[in-house]
Structure 1
Amino acid sequence: MNASNPASLYADHVNVQRSRADEALARGGFDHLVAPSGTLHYQLFDDRDYPYVVNPQFKAWLPLTRNPGSWLVYTPGQKPKVIYLQPFDYWHVVPEAPSGDWVEHFDITVIRKAEEALQHLPKDAARCAILGEPQSTVGAFAPNNPPAVVNYLEYHRAYKTPYEIAMMRAATRIGVRAHRTAERLFRAGSSEFGIHLGYCQSAGQDANDLPYSNIIALNEHSAVLHYTDRDRVPPKQAHSFLIDAGASFHGYACDITRSYAHDSGSEFQAMIEATDAAQLKMCDQVRAGTDYKQIHLDAHLALAGILKDFGLINVTPEIAVETGVSSAFFPHGIGHGIGLQVHDVAGFAESDHGGTIPKPDGHPYLRLTRVLEPGMAVTIEPGIYFIDMLLDELKDKGFGPSVNWDRVAQFKPYGGIRIEDDVVCTEGAPANLTREGFAEAS
């Protein structure tokens, strides 16, 4: 395998997809795997489309993300087929003729109307595992999403091929470039909306291209975990900036979060640096055989240590974790799988037959509970926040004395801190795609 040759990596990737599909179909008792690319949906009581999002089961095979109405068909022992919709249409831009490294690996049939796909799909829909959303239906071909097939494919999707890692690296380079632009705009006094526009321009991607909605938060807005309102006017005084924003490349995502203090000599900057140092240690835990749940639990102890060091809690880190005090400052999970989807699938899968690995008691928002193995790609995103709702709950539950409220009041104008990297588990030391991307851009 030639790691410097994307075409070679892609050929190997398709072979992996074929091998996985062979086993999935055998388990489900089907003869064909069929994946529609997805369709356009009209908004209710309107003639406007919702933004199109490609079916992940389709783009797992193909670097096509803007081709509604197309189909992938795979029959074991045969070359996979793409039914490629290229309509006659003067209202919209029509997909270009099929081209690129992927073309030679598929038998391609171009159709002009969506219903023409029926002529090229397998004869018996009942013998097909059809993976997609209900709207992607043509004739008798309606998605059935058989659990035996879906469970197998989604479980193994956690193990990224070298091609997929290369695509995620490419997405990271775009995201890093845009993050650097966003920081410069923050330093220059831009509004949240202005930073968002600058990010999109630098990435060369708009809201429909990005893998998720940009979180661009100044000051206390950083305490809202999924803040997407984006004020049009900058605050009178900028204290802090939290940006959680990614980028896409050939259907793969990066997910990067950084936090900044306006005053580089402030205590808040020191807290960012302490969180960053702790986060790097957590990233180093992304190793084969490590239970991801343990990284999450260890993160609580590390972050509680930072809270103690900065005088925000009056109890030991161990007691803060045991009593749930740490969860008021760090209420979300340490991360999730990432790849074709920013929150990639099968995070709780017990095996490729199904089943669920439960979350640790008291940690309902963790998105991944599997033991890490080589090829898995995950995010590591610890945070410390000053959220009124959660802090008030501590008082209501009788844990008010555990917190130094004067210190909390000093940090509340900053909102919070989150630092997030995308990390790949390997046979040895983890590969931190995000840190590599920032180092490469230096």
Structure 2
Amino acid sequence: MTRAVAEQALASALSRRRAAASEAWDLDHEIVLVGAGDRVAIPGRYDRTYPFRAHSEYLYLTDRERPNGVLAFDPSEGWTEFLSPVTREELLWEALDGVREGVPEDARSVLELEAWLDARQGRRCGCLGAPIEGVECDPLLTQDLRDVLTALRRVKDEVELERMTRAEQATRAGFLAFPALIDAGRTEREIQIELEAEFFRHGADFLAFDTIIAAGDHSAIFHFAPTSRRLARGELLLVDAGSEVRGYASDVTRTYPVSGAFTAEQAALYEIVREALRAATATCRPGAEWRDVHLAAALAIGEGLVDLGLLRGEPASLFERGAMTLFFPHGVGHMVGLGVRDAGGVVPDRAPPGNGFPRLAS
């Protein structure tokens, strides 16, 4: 795909997303502001800031990774983008690719936002994205707008799928190279460096989240940061990692035997988890409830643990009594897309899932 074709596809996608949002919101006199967010200073490091990432709701509707931007919507006038002007100093220090001084022709300076709001005083305002300083937001309207937009964002368009595919391809390349990186005596940190390098070699432009490389007892911690600890034969090695392309993420978790082969006990437990994955995947169909996906995985784990003699009883009864959460204390998974946690949350007015369920991420 040429750059011109890609830009046209993106412009069409953004137009469709905004049209779908405005139609679904069905506003009359209310206005909407969507904030990109601001740079976050690293405490005590003077002018150093963390890498800027625009709020997902703003990025979805603008595809801009620029701080302090605001996308405004007035149902009688449509959409207006307010952007922080690019300065000569920024161009000198940061060399923003393809960006010129000032603001694009199809946008206005963020300095004009105050006048835009003054002209609409007294109208209810819903605020999405990052908070916007000095703006009074209607919390009920904001929640209604967010619920609608979240539902729209769960269905991915062609531009999103293309970026997710590229992120998956970069992640896949890293994991294909991963077994050759495993060797007793190597450190978790050394393996992390090599895995992430593979991601970037194959097209990633960011990490989807902080890479987890955990060996031995470290692997029992969900979000363990790699250390200088050296791998030892007989241990299990957990890796949870993923790459990102233009804001869209991939997320893969795998467990490997450091020695190259599982022990009989490790193999039995590994097969239980594989069966749970098969059961959960088979349940993922249009219209399926997320709680049913989790339940399918949990019952498969329960059946396997009963067969191994680690639990006694009927899996369904054990689940309802919370016995499974000793071995499966988290939700079965979460949605991935624009970021590694995308368009989640509980559907409004949905009843709690019932006994035996942990907090379900989505």
- Residue 315 of structure 2 is matched in structure 1 by 317
Q: Return the offset for 1:119.
A: 7.0
Distance 2:325 2:93 in 1: 49
Sort the Cα spacing of 1:328 and 1:118 in 2 relative to 1 into closer, same or farther, 3 A: same
2:277 corresponds to: 279
Partner of 1:212: 209
The unaligned stretches of length 5 or more in structure 1 are 100-105, 369-442
Of 291, 296, 300 in structure 2, the residue corresponding to residue 298 of structure 1 is: 296
Q: Does 1:61 align with 2:61?
A: yes
Work out whether 1:36 is the aligned partner of 2:32.
no
SS of residue paired to 2:62: coil
* 1:95 matched residue in structure 2: 96
Q: 1:357 to 1:248 in 2, by over 3 A?
A: farther
Amino acid at match of 2:156: K
Who is 2:168 aligned against? 172
Going from structure 1 to structure 2, the CA distance change for 1:331 and 1:154 (only over 3 Å counts) comes to same
| Residues 295-320 of structure 1: per-residue CA shift (max 9 Å, x gap) | 11121110112223334334443443
Q: Tell me which residue corresponds to 1:197.
A: 193
1:343 match:
341
Distance 1:70 1:172 in 2: 29
Give, in angstroms, the shift of residue 171 of structure 1: 1.3
C-alpha separation between the residues in 1 aligned to 2:129 and 2:330? 30
Greater RCO (CA < 8 Å, at least 6 residues apart): 1
- Equivalenced residue count is 346
For 1:419, the equivalent position in structure 2 comes to: none
Partner-residue secondary structure (3-state), 1:160: coil
Question: Closer, same or farther in 2 for the Cα pair 1:148/1:318, shift >3 Å?
Answer: closer
Equivalents in 2 of 1:133, 1:311: separation in Å?
Answer: 50
Amino acid at match of 2:128: L
Q: 1:345-395 deviations in whole A, cap 9, x for unaligned?
A: 343113xxxx34423323232124xxxxxxxxxxxxxxxxxxxxxxxxxxx
Could you say if the C-alpha distance between residues 196 and 148 of structure 1 is closer, same or farther in structure 2, counting changes exceeding 3 Å?
same
Residues 70 and 81, structure 2, Cα contact 8 Å, conserved in 1: yes
Which of 149-158 and 37-46 deviates more?
A: 37-46
The 3 A distance-change label for structure 1 pair 93 and 291 is same
Find the counterpart in structure 2 of residue 360 from structure 1. 354
For 1:362 and 1:119, the matched residues in 2 are separated by: 53
CA change 1:362–1:313 in 2 (3 A) is: closer
- 1:82: how far off? 3.8
Matches within 5 A, 1:43-442: 43-44=42-43, 47=46, 48-65=48-65, 67-76=66-75, 80-85=79-84, 86-89=86-89, 92-98=93-99, 108-109=106-107, 115=111, 123-124=119-120, 127=123, 129-134=126-131, 136-137=132-133, 141=135, 146-187=142-183, 189-204=185-200, 209-228=206-225, 230-237=226-233, 239-262=235-258, 263-267=260-264, 268-350=266-348, 355-368=349-362
RMSD of equivalent CA atoms: 3.4
- The secondary structure found in structure 2 opposite 1:148 is helix
| 1:184 Cα deviation from its structure 2 partner | 2.5
Q: Which residue of 2 aligns with 1:377?
A: none
Task: State the TM-score, normalized to the length of structure 2.
Answer: 0.81
Change beyond 3 A, Cα 1:76–1:304: same
* Residues 246, 255 of structure 1: 8 Å contact kept: yes
Secondary structure of 1:248 counterpart: strand
Instruction: Name structure 2 gaps, 5 residues minimum.
Output: none
Q: What is the alpha-carbon distance in structure 1 between the residues aligned to residue 205 and residue 12 of structure 2?
A: 30
Give the whole-Å Cα distance in 1 for the aligned partners of 2:221 and 2:61.
36
Q: Please give the secondary structure, in 1, of the residue aligned with 2:252.
A: strand
Instruction: Using structure 1 for the length normalisation, give the TM-score.
Output: 0.68
- C-alpha change, 1:195 and 1:25, in structure 2 (3 Å) is same
Q: Secondary structure at the match of 2:88?
A: coil
Q: How far, CA to CA, are the matches of 2:310 and 2:175 in structure 1?
A: 30
Contact residue 184 and residue 233 of structure 2 kept, 8 A: no
With over 3 angstroms needed to count, the CA separation of the structure-2 counterparts of 1:15 and 1:44, relative to structure 1, is same
Residues 73 and 121 in structure 1, CA contact (< 8 A), matched pair in contact too: no
Deviations 1:37-84 (A, max 9, x none): 21112244553423422111111023333x212333445586754444
- The aligned counterpart of 2:22 is 22
Deviation for aligned residue 1:9 = 5.0
Q: Distance in 1 between matches of 2:233 and 2:28?
A: 60
- Kept after mapping to 2: 8 A contact 1:28/1:148: no
Assess if the C-alpha contact under 8 Å between 2:42 and 2:50 holds in 1. Answer: yes
User: 1:303–1:272: structure 2 CA closer, same or farther, 3 Å change rule?
Assistant: same
Residue identity in the other structure for 2:94: V
Q: Against the structure 1 CA distance between its residues 204 and 126, is the aligned structure 2 distance closer, same or farther, given a 3 Å change threshold?
A: farther
For residue 331 of structure 1, give the secondary structure of its aligned residue in structure 2.
coil
